[in-house]
Amino acid sequence: MDATWIVSANASRAMIFSQASSSEPLEEINDMVNTAVRLRTSELERDKVGPTAATKSMHNVGGATPNKSYEPHQTAEEHQTELFARNIASFLLQGYQEGRYKRLALIASPQFLGELRKLLDPKLASVVSLELNKDYTHFSAAQLREQIEAHQAKG
């Protein structure tokens, strides 16, 4: 199929549309929601294992106490956002491998666009025809199409 897939996403929602030609309306093919990003950190991090939680801890044995101000590489929210971006990237790769589209447009909030771009398969980098760092997830398909056309008219 010679279609273009258009992804409109942010860290909590991704809508994927298909457009057969530039004169055709957008057809929604998937609406993905990341409910975990809306949870409180305390709901995401149920168990806090500290350096003294294990039976072989150095606590109360006179040894040096491990640093208790450990900061993880990612916050729980960042981790959930990365997992969501991985799911989207996987869905896009599968659709491309099945021949469901030839071109890809990525329209996402600035931070999420960076995350998604980082996780896209290298095969998809060559088919990305448009990137917009805007959050249009609250727009209807018709409004999204208008924004894309307005952007293309500028460039």
pTM of this structure: 0.78
Q: What is the pLDDT of residue 13?
A: 96
Fold type of domain 4-39+73-154: Nucleotidyltransferase; domain 5 (3.30.420)
Question: Which two tokens mark 14?
Answer: 């991704």
Q: Strand pairing of 13-19 and 128-132? A: unpaired
Task: Give pLDDT tens digits for 66-80.
Answer: 555 655 677 888 999
Report whether 14 contacts 8 (CB < 8 A): yes
Residues of the chain falling short of pLDDT 70: 38-72
Domain boundaries defined on the chain: 4-39+73-154
Q: What is the pLDDT of residue 36?
A: 80
Residue 152 to residue 136: CA distance in whole angstroms: 16
Three-class secondary structure of residue 27 per DSSP? strand
Residue 90's contacts (CB-CB under 8 Å, 6 or more residues apart) are none
